[in-house]
Amino acid sequence: QVQLVESGGGSVQAGGSMTLSCAASGDIHGIYCMGWLRQSPGKEREGVAIIDSDGFTSYADSVKERFTIWQNGAKNALYLQMNSLKPEDTAIYYCAALLQSCITTDYVALDPDFRGQGTQVTVSS
């Protein structure tokens, strides 16, 4: 089992920045891919960004050039730097982990093996 705990959410004005963190514990050695997904009321769940065990990254078109995903060297922490935030970025953001490799952000959105409890991000105009 893998436990994921997100932190760093909150409220920010449009144009601002925020960094989310995710602490991973448990049997993390089996993880091949980690990422972030988000969900807001009335919208479908959306994969935001992924990073695989080789460092390959991919982003949803809606966040490209604004968000950056990375891990620490021990691969027990995941981060998401969010810049130029927009009101439409408002959502609950979840950290996710997969026991398989991933190619697109759809992998974390559809059926991750593990997911955290989420952290709220609110962007006001």
pLDDT in tens, 72-112: 988 899 999 999 999 999 999 999 999 998 988 988 888 89
Q: 58 pLDDT band (50/70/90 cuts)?
A: very high
Q: Which residue has the higher pLDDT, 111 or 60?
A: 60
Q: Can you tell me the mean pLDDT for 51-64?
A: 95
User: Could you tell me the sign of the dihedral formed by the alpha carbons of 101, 2, 7, 79, in that order?
Assistant: negative
